[in-house]
Structure 1
């Protein structure tokens, strides 16, 4: 199993993302472009990065100082729990409200209220759980 947010893990997520029309195609319809990073709350910098251009992930891997539009952080225990049982709309809202999931960058409130972004975002957490 690839280490969480490692180069290999992020590239497996890239492949899963690009193969899923509920994520890639839905975000292409709104011309979604963003640099998304993720990692652990205890770290100063993110671990992995994911670059999306018009819905398609064009690059993924280790974070190398890229400027992120979105930066999601949680403790490793919570990430591991969510890899086994992905967050849904309600559980994600609770994770953010209780501080288990933090957005160091990005406007979670605006995103989750926008159905064209919220659905694919929730689905991306389900994709994370499929990474081996």
Structure 2
């Protein structure tokens, strides 16, 4: 298995993201543009980054100082659990409230209140499981 959030993993994730209509197409409908960092809670910087334009990933890379719109962090065990099993709305709420999933950058409350964003966000976890 490729290391979580490595360059190769991020590129495979980007490919799966762009193939998933409930993610890429749904975000395209709201013209979602963002730079999302993924990493571990005990590290000062994220490891991997997706750059998204109109819902599609146009770049997947290692973090190199990019300005982030979202920076998602958790410990390695929780990331692996979510990759293996996905995450539903209840699990997401519990992970956020217990700080198992941290939003170091980004507005969780605004995102979760907008079903056009919340649905694809939840879907992104199941897509991680396809990598």
- What secondary structure is seen at the aligned counterpart in 2 of 1:87? coil
1:107 aligns with 2:128: no
Partner in structure 1 of residue 79 of structure 2? 79
Q: How far does residue 52 in structure 1 lie from its aligned partner after superposition?
A: 0.2
Q: CA RMSD in A?
A: 0.6
Structure 2 matches for 1:47-58, cutoff 5 A? 47-58=47-58
- What secondary structure is seen at the aligned counterpart in 1 of 2:27? helix
Partner in structure 1 of residue 97 of structure 2? 97
Query: Which runs of at least 4 in structure 1 moved beyond 3 Å after TM superposition?
Result: none
Q: Deviations over 1:55-99 (max 9, x none)?
A: 110000211110100000000111111111111111011000001
Structure 2 matches for 1:31-46, cutoff 5 A? 31-46=31-46
In the aligned structure 2, how far is the partner of 1:100 from the partner of 1:67?
Answer: 23
Partner in structure 1 of residue 62 of structure 2? 62
Aligned pair count reads 131
Tell me which protein shows more helix as a share of its residues.
2
Give structure 2 stretches of 5+ with no counterpart. none
Give structure 1 stretches of 5+ with no counterpart. none
Tell me the TM-score normalized by structure 2: 0.98
